[in-house]
């Protein structure tokens, strides 16, 4: 299903497949992707886990401004932010 960039993380949180209009920000309902980089996952024990691919992360390296924006949009829907 094609949705806005704002809706992709909401779909991820609800376990629903979705893709942005460009196809660069998408989810299969379990994992969340920025381009082909997995930025989020679903853990039975932890829930929705978001990897912090932004400049402020100590664990993951900065990837791109667009990926940082995707991470930022998904923050509100993550149960845990790793990084």
Each residue's pLDDT expressed in tens, for the chain with a length of 83 residues: 899 999 999 999 999 999 999 999 999 999 999 999 999 999 999 999 999 998 887 788 888 899 999 999 999 999 999 98
Look at residue 24 and give its three-state secondary structure: coil
Contact between residue 83 and residue 59 where contact means Cβ atoms under 8 Å apart? yes
pTM equals 0.91
CA distances from 22 to 4, 62, 65, 82 (A): 9, 22, 16, 26
The residue count of the chain comes to 83
């Amino acid at each position: 299903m094609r949705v806005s960039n704002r809706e992709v993380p909401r779909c991820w949180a609800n376990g629903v497949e979705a893709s942005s209009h460009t196809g660069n920000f998408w989810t299969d309902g379990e994992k969340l992707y920025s381009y082909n980089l997995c930025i989020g996952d679903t853990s039975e024990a932890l829930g929705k886990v978001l990897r912090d691919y932004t400049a402020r992360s100590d664990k993951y390296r900065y990837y791109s401004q667009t990926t940082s924006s995707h991470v930022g949009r998904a923050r509100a829907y993550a149960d845990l932010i790793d990084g």
